[in-house]
Amino acid sequence: MKTKQFAEKEIWFVTGSQHLYGPETLKKVAANSQEIAGFLNDSEHSPVSIIFKPVLTNPNSIRELFMQANHNDSCIGIITWMHTFSPSKMWIAGLKMINKPILHLHTQYNRDLPWGEIDMDFMNLNQAAHGDREHGYIYSRMRKNRKVVAGYWKEENVQSRLGIWMRAALAWDDLQNCKIARIGDNMREVAVTEGDKVEAQIQFGYSVNTFGIGDLVQYVEAVGQSDINDLLAVYDAQYILSTDIQKDGVKRKKLADAAKIELGMRNFLKAGNFKAFTTTFEDLHGLTQLPGLAVQRLMADGYGFGGEGDWKTSALVRALKTMAAGLKGGTSFMEDYTYHLHPSGAMVLGAHMLEVCESIASEKPRLEMHPLGIGGKDDPARLIFGVQQGPAINLSCIDMGDRFRFILNDVDVIDAPERLPKLPVAHAVWIPKPNLQIASESWIYAGGAHHTVFSQALNSEYIRDFAEIASTELVVIDSKTQVSDLKNELKWNDIYYSFRK
């Protein structure tokens, strides 16, 4: 299904051939390709339009098309397919310059061979089996990152895997002009939330710039009472409010403060055209409470967020929210908070001080105000909820000094074994794959952060595609992981990435 948010974005479908076959065959190649492109465009798995491009048969037309793609802001990626044989030296000039994500589709127009009818005309037309091998060679020879998808084009699995890549390409496109506002610096003395912002911009496209808390406070102070009243009405309608913050409740005024902060933050982010942001509890001068509810609701609207100045995770939240747009299941900033180490089943209780996105809520959130030991401010408002059981991923991004590394863990969210009546924050309970011991040892060897992006809408294939496009190391911890293998992988990666530069 096309995602409205990305209505102006498109994928170009490019078929390669050559003049050797004569005009009749080339006409058939074009007609077949157009049919495939149209079919894939109509697939419910395609979040954006797939545009058929004329069949390419010589070096100049290939170079020209790729040049156009580079300069076309709507084009977020290219699918290539060799219906017939297209000598790959013709592609070198184009591939040298292309800077959009590439997917090499290895399919065939005919699903079944008409055994009794096959003649040399048929053989000449249906040559992807060797045409795509020639095509794959030149990508490999030129060390071009791409996704290869093999299979019959009408198969659900093929469409779904194309759709996953398209979503990764969308996230990549979105990051290229993504501005992140870092409100205050990171939490003092913390290492993993630091990083090289210049290198991140070179590698991922997004920019991170710091703003003093006063820049935000200005916007908060400018919020009018009628806007606050309107937002309070939204809270009343959307959440289950504790008695003390309901209309005429003793703390209603404090909830109005939270609404004022939310409106100020919205206006600040809108005015600066920011797609993501960070806050830190160590710099709240001029705010009456730590923005909890505001951050939760902004994340639900698609903003990236990282706590304690964690701009890398903020960017990643934004990227994964873009990938997941319109899909079932939510995506949130998350933190591995505390463990249940019972021998019958070790698990993680994930949460944050306040800032978990309501897109992952399994129930209507409760809105409450409770004291927060950290920050020394008024009791902050926050949404409290649990999370639906089912598969999910946790993803971290760290700066290794010479490169960035993604670390992903497949997890199974479960219902909490018991109620948590005294826990005043949103939370999720999960069992990491293959189990907590192997997953946490692996995560720690890999240097993964306590902060992650948690998503129930995405799986590891989205992240593999995204890492490929971003040309970034990805360490996956899943049901097959063994610590000894993973330690070797980390060592080999160190060598690979130091040679690659």
Contact positions vs Mn ion (CB under 5 A): 307, 335
Closer of 335 and 410 to Mn ion (Cβ): 335
> DSSP labels for 310-351?
-HHHHHHHHHHHHHTTTSSS-EEEEEEEEEE--TT--EEEEE
Closer of 310 and 379 to Mn ion (Cβ): 310
Closer of 172 and 311 to Mn ion (Cβ): 311
Token representation of residue 423: 């826990």
Nearest distance from C-beta of residue 352 to Mn ion, angstroms: 6
The CA radius of gyration of the chain, in Å to the nearest whole number, is 25
According to DSSP, the β-strands at 381-384 and 366-369 are: antiparallel
**Alpha helices in 47-127, H assignment, sequence order:** 59-71, 92-97, 120-125
Closer of 47 and 304 to Mn ion (Cβ): 304
Closer of 193 and 289 to Mn ion (Cβ): 193
Give the E-state strand segments of 374-450 in sequence order. 381-384, 390-399, 404-414, 427-432
Nearest distance from C-beta of residue 85 to Mn ion, angstroms: 55
Closer of 10 and 308 to Mn ion (Cβ): 308
In the chain, count H helices and then E strands. Answer: 15, 19
Token representation of residue 438: 């192997």
List, in order, residues 6 or more apart from 216 with CB less than 8 Å away. 183, 264, 265, 268, 287
Closer of 108 and 186 to Mn ion (Cβ): 186
Nearest distance from C-beta of residue 312 to Mn ion, angstroms: 13
Nearest distance from C-beta of residue 365 to Mn ion, angstroms: 20
Nearest distance from C-beta of residue 451 to Mn ion, angstroms: 6
Closer of 291 and 307 to Mn ion (Cβ): 307
List, in order, residues 6 or more apart from 218 with CB less than 8 Å away. none
Q: Which helix (H) or strand (E) holds 102?
A: strand 102-106
Distance CA 280, CA 297 (A): 17
CA 41 to chain centre: 22
Nearest distance from C-beta of residue 423 to Mn ion, angstroms: 16
* Residue showing the smallest CB distance to Mn ion in the complex: 307
Closer of 335 and 399 to Mn ion (Cβ): 335
Closer of 80 and 452 to Mn ion (Cβ): 452
Nearest distance from C-beta of residue 336 to Mn ion, angstroms: 10
Nearest distance from C-beta of residue 378 to Mn ion, angstroms: 20
Distance CA 151, CA 132 (A): 12
- How deeply is 421 buried, as exposed, middle or buried, from its count of CB atoms within 10 A (0-12, 13-18, 19+)? exposed
Nearest distance from C-beta of residue 295 to Mn ion, angstroms: 12
- Helix 197-204 × helix 311-323 angle, to 10°: 20
* 361, 391 Cβ separation under 8 angstroms: no
* 47, 167 Cβ separation under 8 angstroms: yes
Nearest distance from C-beta of residue 212 to Mn ion, angstroms: 21
Nearest distance from C-beta of residue 70 to Mn ion, angstroms: 39
Give how far Cα 104 sits from Cα of 16, 134, 148, 178, 404, Å: 11, 12, 5, 27, 26
Instruction: Match 């609701």 to its residue by tokens.
Output: 297
According to DSSP, the β-strands at 366-369 and 207-211 are: unpaired
Closer of 264 and 307 to Mn ion (Cβ): 307
